[in-house]
Amino acid sequence: MDYLAGLNVTQREAVEQTEGPVMIVAGAGSGKTRVITYRVAHLIQKGIDPFNILVLTFTNKAAKEMRERITKVVGTEAKNIWMGTFHSVFAKILRVEAHHIGYPNNFTIYDTDDSKSLIKTILKEMSLDDKLYHHNYVYGRISMAKNNLISVAEYQQNEQIQADDHSSGRAFLGKIYETYVNRCFKAGAMDFDDLLFKTNVLLKEQPEVLYKYQNKFKYLMVDEYQDTNFSQYLIVKKLAAIRENLCVVGDDAQSIYAFRGANIQNILNFQKDYPDVKVFKLEQNYRSTQNIVNIANSIIANNKNQLEKNVFSANETGDKIKVTRSFSDNEEGKQVAEAIAQERADANLNWSDFAILYRTNAQSRSMEEALRKLGVPYKIYGGTSFYQRKEIKDLIAYFRLTFNPADEEAFKRVINYPARGIGKTTLDKIILAADKENKTLFDVIVDAQQYLDARAAAAVSNFATAIQSFAVVAKNQSAYDAALHIAQQSGLLKDLYDDKSVEGINRYENIQELLNGIKEFSEREDIEDRGLDVFMQDVALLTNDDKDKDDKDSVSLMTIHSSKGLEFPQVYIVGLEENLFPSQMSLNSRADLEEERRLFYVAVTRAEKKLNISYATSRFKFGTLINCEPSRFLDEIDPRYLEIELPKKASIANSGSFDDERTQWQSNTRYQPAQADVFSKPKPATKPLKTTSLLAKAHVPSEGFAPSDTSNLQVGHEVEHERFGYGKVLTLEGNKPDIKATIFFKEIGQKQLLLKFAKLRIV
């Protein structure tokens, strides 16, 4: 039992409570991964068969780390645990059970690009306006439907959904959804959302399959439970229904993925779902200094919808959190870059000890420019993944066709790459024939003479023969030998080798790197099946959070969403401005605003030793310079833990207020405060007063507030702004779409707004 010796009291209690429903509320940096891994190891030490344990995570990286830790305690038995992401575990189950719902066991998994490509094809075939029915919007609509388990039939019969689609001018969304689902089925393909949607269908329609896995998975653990959506929630609930040996781990304060369908109510209502649940709160933060933990607590305390906990740190007190103002986003970048370079030199740190976090990807520009000017190496997370590069996707498309010739998207991608004289006209004829005969595209080219002229038929027949030969090779050779054969015989490797440009050489090297990875996979001893088809399944299920390896010493730049789960000695959070952070899109409801606040909490708790926050008083947005207000979140931080720095003026550290700084900002932007200014606060007494949320003081929009079409706005019109209140238009200047309106608001005075962003209601 030595492995339990390093746990604190609460961690140990959570590990030892193996029976019945358990909820572990794990604050940031509280040793969550240690508790999960030791709890699984403890189950195995108690004699539970690892084949009966299911552990669900949100990234392959997390699953890999946990398995390695468990192996250190229990040895090779850890290999037998069912552990992985929701998508990888249920894809594995579907490979065995898919025939129950009419799918082949070798179904292809479409990634986001495949899905959007298919949607574009459908829009073109239906002659729909691709601006109104933008493929990203359509994809998001279908994805949200699947995550909420809304089938095609339910979508088309739901009066509210249909009313929404008609009012938006997109009455054909239901038909697009139906066509998309039918085409995926015909191609023997599931998209990422299907891996959960179809699992729910399987468990609902096939009771014997549900019973089989309920008895197989006698103990279930779910990591990051606050990030689960309705579909994931239902699968877990069904699988745990017999024994209820379900342990969920998460932190409601770090629920930041509502835009992906995550539902914070899953963790908030867990005690209602399981009244006899045992709750353990991991409240000691081992990661950050006391000051960082204290400001995180003061931020999240403003959320009403949360599980109560008292996170604390026994680490050093640490530096106060530095808040810096700059006059522009470019100056903000310059200040951050200079501060990082200076701090690295003074403290003898590595570049990799620093991270810059921002709310939107667009903010990286000013940071990148400033870092480049100083020669500071940096890496942006969230760029093009290795497996999303064109040449990699091209070769993988050949692999996909090898195992599933019905895969329409893979077929269209490589039918004429490398070039083999099969043009658009020939491809259109193949598609028409397939549609008319209700065949797959591959079925048509196998019997090409029936549908195409002699020259085209010969070209596509050769392609079909090649794919069929690849299938034979893949069945009888190792993953690496099969992959190399396909790369060579398809002509792809030669095509890239012949391109001697810098880009061509880089693409060729990327293919070599892919083949190296397959070679390593072929030689693994920890798995029994090492065929190319198994490698393909692993690649298809890589998540956005499974980053490429990069050991280069460099500063990390990323959105706050991308930073979740990471930690850095020093963190810079930039762009703390109203309408940027919190986002303008989040100001319409308390639920949205609370998610933005949780996002800020996540950003703050990435820091171990030092935290720096900055904002600008002006920023370029779509080519237009706009004035910016400090974020309301700054007012929610307990001023005792702040050190406020102003450019070209003496520091007002320990003033306990932003009043002096805000006065200067107001004069710079010709801001005219009303008598009851939403930014004014009482001066600190001998004991600092708790600051009041700006939200509570802001204008309350009229009931049913909705922005008007301002294309015909005129001087003299009365308007309402959701934050500034009621006002009158004084002047209009500029040309569409960049018309600026000068408006006098009764509550705050005169402001100049860009109409395309202003969201005004004409009274």
Establish whether 32 is a catalytic residue: yes
Q: Is 27 annotated as a binding residue?
A: yes
The first and second tokens of residue 608, run together, are 């171990």
Q: Is 383 annotated as a binding residue?
A: no
- 487/414 Cα distance (integer angstroms): 12
Alpha-carbon distances of 190 from 123, 218, 578, 658, rounded to whole Å: 19, 28, 41, 53
Establish whether 481 is a catalytic residue: no
CB atoms within 10 A of CB 15: 24
CB–CB of 19/245 below 8 Å? yes
CB–CB of 187/108 below 8 Å? yes
Q: Is 674 annotated as a binding residue?
A: no
Establish whether 33 is a catalytic residue: yes
- 476/402 Cα distance (integer angstroms): 13
Indicate the helix (H) or strand (E) that contains 413. helix 408-414
SS3 162: helix
- Selecting among 114, 165, 194, 223, the annotated active-site residue is 223
- 248/611 Cα distance (integer angstroms): 31
- 740/755 Cα distance (integer angstroms): 6
Bridging pattern class, strands 378-380 and 624-627: unpaired
Establish whether 455 is a catalytic residue: no
N-terminal to C-terminal alpha carbon distance within the chain: 71
- 4/572 Cα distance (integer angstroms): 36
Q: Spell out a b/e string for 327-347, using b for 16 or more CB atoms within 10 Å of the CB, else e.
A: ebbbbbbbbbbebbbebbeee
Q: Is 564 annotated as a binding residue?
A: no
Establish whether 512 is a catalytic residue: no
The first and second tokens of residue 32, run together, are 């969550």
Task: Find out whether the peptide bond into 207 is cis, omega within 30 degrees of 0.
Answer: no
The first and second tokens of residue 554, run together, are 């460099």
Q: Is 28 annotated as a binding residue?
A: yes
SS3 245: coil
Q: Is 30 annotated as a binding residue?
A: yes
Q: How far is CA 617 from the centre of its chain?
A: 29
Q: Is 33 annotated as a binding residue?
A: yes
Instruction: Please spell the DSSP secondary structure of 128-150, one letter per residue.
Output: --TTTT-HHHHHHHHHHHHHTT-
Q: Is 31 annotated as a binding residue?
A: yes
SS3 439: coil
Closest to 600 in 3D by CA, of 251, 250, 254: 254
SS3 169: coil
Backbone angles phi, psi at 761, to 5 degrees: -105, 125
The first and second tokens of residue 141, run together, are 């609509």
- Selecting among 224, 595, 636, 638, the annotated active-site residue is 224
Establish whether 624 is a catalytic residue: no
Looking at residue 577, what DSSP letter applies?
Answer: B
- Selecting among 10, 33, 388, 468, the annotated active-site residue is 33
- Selecting among 11, 254, 559, 570, the annotated active-site residue is 254
- 396/517 Cα distance (integer angstroms): 13
Q: What is the 3-state secondary structure (H, E, C) of 384-403?
A: CCHHHCHHHHHHHHHHHHHH
The first and second tokens of residue 481, run together, are 């030998």
- 394/414 Cα distance (integer angstroms): 7
Give alpha helix (H) positions in 248-289.
Answer: 265-268, 270-273
Q: How far is CA 506 from the centre of its chain?
A: 28
Give alpha helix (H) positions in 528-589.
Answer: 532-540, 560-563
The first and second tokens of residue 1, run together, are 């039992």
Bridging pattern class, strands 725-733 and 718-721: antiparallel
- 190/184 Cα distance (integer angstroms): 6
Closest to 526 in 3D by CA, of 9, 25, 155, 78: 78
- CA atoms in the 13 A half-sphere facing the CB of 155: 24
- Selecting among 39, 564, 606, 632, the annotated active-site residue is 606
Task: Find out whether the peptide bond into 737 is cis, omega within 30 degrees of 0.
Answer: yes
CB atoms within 10 A of CB 131: 7
Residue set of the binding site for ATP: 26-33
Just list the catalytic residues: 32-33, 223-224, 254, 606
Residue set of the binding site: 26-33
